[in-house]
Amino acid sequence: MTLRSRHLLGIEGLDRSEILTILGQARTFREVLDRAIPIVPALRGRTVVNLFFEASTRTSTSFNLAASRLSCQCVNFSKATSSVSKGETLLDTARNIEAMGVDGIIIRHPAAGAPHFLARNVKAFVVNAGDGAHEHPTQALLDAFTLREKLGDLEGKRILIVGDIAHSRVARSNLLCFTKLGAKVAVCGPPTMIPPYVEDYGCEVFYRLDRILGEVDVVNMLRVQQERITASSFPTVREYRALYGLTAARLRKLAPEVVITHPGPVNWGVEMDFDVADFSQTLILPQVTNGVAVRMAVLFLLAGGEHPEG
């Protein structure tokens, strides 16, 4: 019933039943968040560290809160104020932090594979909170959780992921997660932002948003990641918005039951017009709330109990 691995490195390593286990546990933690006192003593005495080598408010706060709500201590580390600026290596940083007695490391790193590297080299359990353009598993899990709360089983549901598919770890994790849950996934974006062989993941590819928008149950918008893209792959903000933005005009044409998700932070006026924020089917804030419950489930499943394999 529990997870095979003692780390959460990506959706790739999870099978359908493991995903469903996490989502099932997340539901019970969602209920904890609504209590008069939304804290349970489940991980009393445990400590995790938020090891963030990239800027983040949502994800690091979410993990922090998830740990607190489980009575688990959470230490925050940020690159800017650490010895990393003195040239300390990732392994040294992690080993030093581990030597202070932490049970788990939650890592966000610009290099794909950094969490996997840590997992091989430290005794603590490792949670990938985003590694480069590779994976962001807890985002995919919280998106799946939010969609299931709204739509029920995702089997056969048509989900469209729109944006920079090539540079987005959210796109990859979501694509893997939704497909494993039986959804029919399509991706859409400028040709420069669609990675080659993306069809091998079992999705359809569209280059024109208006052709597919009318045929889906879910529109999963991605953030335009100014920090990861180059001038050659990205046209202009105006052109991007005109071709791939969820504009007020496109919103009006959507069927009323279509739901919209976005991992945040939103560049309003670029990938989405602000009108989307007030649309009743927009799940952006529920996504954030559910994110805490999903991360509680992940921490509880990884940190609760002893892992016999060490």
Partner 1 sequence: MTRRLANAQAVQSLVARLATQISRHNPGVKDLALVGIKRRGVPLAERVAARLNAGRKSKVPVGAIDITLYRDDLQMVAETPIVRGTEISFDISGKTIVLVDDVVFTGRTIRAALSALLDFGRPRAIQLAVLVDRGHRELPIQPDFAGKKVVTRRDDLVDIFLKETDGRDEVVLTRVGQSQRPKAKSQKPK
User: Residues in the site for partner 1, rule: CB under 8 A?
Assistant: 1-2, 21, 24-25, 27-29, 31-32, 35-37, 39-43, 45, 70, 300-301, 304-306, 308
Of the pair 24, 265, the CB lying nearest partner 1 is at 24
Q: Which is nearer to partner 1, 8 or 203 (CB)?
A: 8
The Cα 124–Cα 6 span in angstroms is 9
Nearer to partner 1, 25 or 138 (CB): 25
The nearest distance, CB 151 to partner 1, in angstroms, is 21
Q: Write down the least CB distance from residue 250 to partner 1, Å.
A: 39
Residue 2 or 226 having the CB closest to partner 1: 2
Cβ nearer to partner 1, comparing 223 with 295: 295
Tell which residue, 193, 224, 187, has the closest CA to residue 209.
187
For the bound state, the minimum distance from the C-beta of residue 293 to partner 1, rounded and expressed in Å, comes to 11
Instruction: CB nearer to partner 1: give 66 or 133.
Output: 66
Residue 54 CB, nearest distance to partner 1 (Å)? 29
Give the shortest CB-25-to-partner 1 separation in angstroms.
Answer: 6
Q: How far is the CB of 52 from partner 1 (least distance, A)?
A: 26
How far, in Å, CA of 73 to CA of 97, rounded?
14
Smaller CB separation from partner 1, 24 or 269: 24
Nearest distance from residue 2's CB to partner 1, in Å? 5
What separation in angstroms does the CA of 147 have from each of 136, 177, 209?
17, 12, 21
Instruction: Report the nearest approach of partner 1 to the CB of residue 7 (Å).
Output: 14
Q: Residue 77: which residues within 8 A CB-CB, separation 6 or more?
A: 49, 50, 51, 52, 93, 97
Nearer to partner 1, 6 or 223 (CB): 6
The Cβ of residue 219 has, within 10 Å, a number of other Cβ atoms equal to 27
- Residue of 58, 175, 276, 288 whose CA lies nearest to 189: 175
